[in-house]
A and B are shown apart, each in its own frame.
Chain A
Amino acid sequence: MLFPTIQFGVFFLIVFVGSWALRSRHTAHKWFLIAASYYFYGCWDWRFTALLAFCSVSNYLGGRWLAATEHPGRRKAILLVGLLANGGVLGFFKYYGFFVSSALNVLAAMGWRPNVTLLEVVLPVGISFFTFQGISYFVDVYRRQLEASKSLADILLYISFFPQLVAGPIVRASTFLPQLQKPPDPNAIEGSRALTLIMGGLIKKTVIANYIGTELVDPFFQSPSDYSGPDSLFAIYGWAVQVYCDFSAYSDIAIGVAELLGYRFPHNFNQPYRASSLREYWRRWHISLSTWLRDYIYYPLGGSRAGRLRTYVNLYLVFLFGGLWHGADWTFVMWGLVHGTGLCVERFVRRRMPAREWPRWTYIIGLLATFHFVCVARIFFRSPSFDIALQCFRSLGAWSEPLTMATPFVVVLVVVGLGIHFIPPKWSEAAQTAFGRMPLVAQGAALGLFLVLLSVMAPEGVAPFIYFQF
């Protein structure tokens, strides 16, 4: 079930009415939301609701086990078991085929061809997100930053809550579980913020991302060698806009939907293409993943306090892991390594030349350099193979051919997709305030007209969100 569909609209209206009607019976309210979330997830494949339940129950039991012991060694052992359980689920479903076939290829190159029958493993949607949420809960309980939940319903709802279940944001247990301690406040819904986020997300996904995808990016990446240098560059810019509009749209809609149900999620994007350095970019892009990697991998490895060389190694390891998290393929590993290298080089330069000594105009240089670096790295992210990625790079060099893919409509979409990064944050707050000041009926009419306008402009059907595959 995808967000920008009538099916989801009907589902949400039922859940909205049902959950608020059950508000005074808090336990029933939570179980209702759990049932709705499992139905939502089951719409992809009912079989995997059992996996979702298994992950939730095992994290709940693990948390209780941790809470029951004070012995440091035993706590460490329990942590290890918990990490292995969550990591094992993710590793088996997502990486089994990748690692086994890679290993067999290495062995074949060495002249040994073992007769191994590979298992057929189906990838459950959203597994990378809900296993990371499980790990965050478990580690936070181990670190005593969070009390182990006594309520199984709370953990089931935390792991499965449908707005963020399949593509994030990766909501921390420390953010969500305290909200389950009492029923959501029926008088404190940030309605104008929620509705403007949902409307913005819908237009980013159904109009900007979908049209750029079908009219520009998909044809280019099918056969990059058929296109000229200017076309290639334009398509790569288009891909940058598409992936931002697609993924940030999902996060915005998720945040808005959760808000209407009385729950708060953190922001996941903050105009990433206005970053003037890679470090800043990662503080603005997929914030919930980058902070997760920082808190649960980078810091435990020693972060930047374990010596210069070790800091560079840690950065590489984090981005290697981040690349693999996105997909079980060597192209994703390469994407991670390119980013890791970029961050190491940037760190090295910054240590020699602190940013405060740089003139202001270097911001523009930094912005352009960061954006183009991100675009180049994303070629690996989008290409289904290294061969296609190399074709993209070769096409970028063919500047004797003209630009043919830049239809006025697609150019407008790309410009708008980039332009929204430079809208002052106060403007969006002003839009929310202006929306909120209208009479309620006018707000409803505006929302209704927006949805009709969306059906006027949207392409037929809706493509799945890009991050579902992760």
Chain B
Amino acid sequence: MESTQVRRYTVREVTIILGVASAVVVLLDAAGLRDWASGLELGPERQVALAITEPIAAIQGRAGLQRPHDLAREWFLSAVHIEHGGGWDTQELQSPVWAEEPAAPTADSAQPEELAGPPLPPRPRRVLLIGDSLMGWGLGTSLERLIAQHPGMEVKRHAVVSSGLTRPDFFDWFDLASGLLDEQEYDAVVCIMGGNDIQAISTEGRVYRHGTDEWYRAYAHRARSFVTLLASKGGRAYWLSLPPMRDKRFHENTRRINAMFEEGCRQRPSAKYVDTGQWIGNEDGEYTSYLVLEGRQRQVRASDGIHLTTAGGEILASRVYDMLVKDLEPPSP
């Protein structure tokens, strides 16, 4: 495939091309660069990237140079009928600030024996599945399939990779969940998330590093508020705990996050905290990559020690599905 006709460039020439190309990108899509910087993990790298890209994006935006890009994208997405830009993770960058988060509920210390909720109407049960990558595949896809196959149940799933509650600037679950629950009446919402939340929280101009008392107070507030939102608008809320993790330190952090959601569920009669470790862990509820099922070794956890394999997703999904069918008593067709 080598061609003798191909032009040979000098390094200087390639540098000029790359320089002009970079300038064109900055000129026409500085907001894209700022959004990228904003999506970086909190830390010095993000600060530097934002310090460079924010002023450029502001000047470029004022000059109206971002408008052609945004109009073209809007036109393209509507022309091809893709919602929210499709893709693997959805960034919602114009999200409301934390001041607008729902108020914390009044504490009610006892965990209800039975899950309360509004009366179930005489129609197929509607279930909403939301969460991060754990709801994206493995568990999410299997659970969606099981529910969809039940003639008395309907299901919608919305999963956003890398999302959680600490970074509304990256993805605002309050905004999305509220919108989804306003759009449609659901009988149950099943949620799993929190694994991406081991990072600093930035709110009202202050940054709380993960692990500090302030961080736990802020996160517990968000956890309670989010459970409240799901339970009050979504009929019944099922909060699936993060499964046991292989890395001990990560496991300890996710265990604390689980505890905050468990506490949030305890305060709402229509919210149920579900310990997934009883189904996807070993006999002590701790991490295991393999489970013996019907005499066969099945790998249930992905190689990262965090996500579930297809087999692991199927196992967990079948347990959650059984619980939903029992609680929601879907009508026969």
Contact = CB atoms under 8 A, between A and B. Distances in A.
Given A6-B36, A425-B1, A189 B28 contact: no
Main secondary structure of the interface of A (DSSP, over half): helix
Given A267-B1, A444-B24, A122 B297 contact: no
Interface of B: 1, 3, 5-11, 13-25, 27-29, 32-33, 36, 69, 72-73, 76, 79-82, 84-91, 137, 141, 144-145, 148, 161, 246, 289-290, 295-299, 303-305, 309-311
Given A6-B36, A118-B290, A432 B6 contact: yes
Contacts of A456: 69, 72-73, 76
Nearest to A191: B9
A364 interface: no
25 contacts: A13-B18, A16-B14, A97-B290, A105-B296, A113-B295, A122-B304, A189-B10, A191-B9, A191-B13, A195-B17, A214-B88, A215-B82, A223-B141, A384-B310, A388-B310, A429-B6, A444-B20, A444-B21, A444-B24, A447-B20, A448-B24, A453-B72, A456-B72, A457-B73, A460-B91
Given A433-B5, A456-B69, A407 B10 contact: no
Contacts of B91: 460-461
A443 interface: yes
Interface in A14-68: 16-17, 20, 23
B24 A445 contact: yes
A444 B26 CA distance: 13
A97 B82 CA distance: 40
Contacts of B86: 210-211, 214-215, 459-460
A460 B32 CA distance: 11
Contacts of B32: 6, 455
Contacts of B84: 460
A462 B90 CA distance: 10
B87 A459 contact: yes
Contact of A459 (B9, B82, B303, B309): B82
A460 B17 CA distance: 27
A429 B9 contact: no
A433 B88 contact: no
A108 interface: yes
Given A6-B32, A444-B18, 15 more contacts: A7-B36, A108-B295, A118-B297, A122-B304, A191-B13, A429-B3, A433-B7, A440-B20, A444-B21, A448-B21, A455-B32, A459-B88, A461-B87, A461-B88, A462-B87
Given A409-B81, A461-B90, A186 B25 contact: no
A115 to B, nearest CB: 11
Contacts of B299: 97, 101
Q: How large is the interface on A (under 10, 10 to 19, 20 to 34, 35 or more residues)?
A: 35 or more
B149 to A, nearest CB: 8
Given A441-B16, A448-B24, A104 B297 contact: yes
Contact of B305 (A118, A122, A211): A122
Contacts of B304: 122
Interface in A209-232: 210-211, 214-215, 222-223, 226
Given A189-B8, A385-B310, A120 B289 contact: yes
A424 B232 CA distance: 61
A192 interface: yes
B10 A226 contact: no
A181 interface: no
Nearest to B72: A456
Contacts of A457: 73, 76
A174 B69 CA distance: 46
A368 interface: no
Contacts of A449: 24, 28
Give the most central of A222, A445, A457, A460: most B CB within 10 Å.
Answer: A460
Contacts of B80: 211, 407, 409
Contact of A460 (B88, B246, B305): B88
Nearest to A408: B80
Contacts of B1: 267, 270, 425
Contact of B33 (A6, A226, A260, A429): A6
B228 to A, nearest CB: 28
Top 8 A-B pairs ranked by shortest CB distance? A448-B24, A444-B20, A459-B87, A191-B9, A436-B7, A461-B89, A447-B21, A448-B21
Nearest to A98: B299
A145 interface: no
B26 to A, nearest CB: 9
A7 B21 CA distance: 16
Contacts of B22: 13, 448
A463 interface: yes
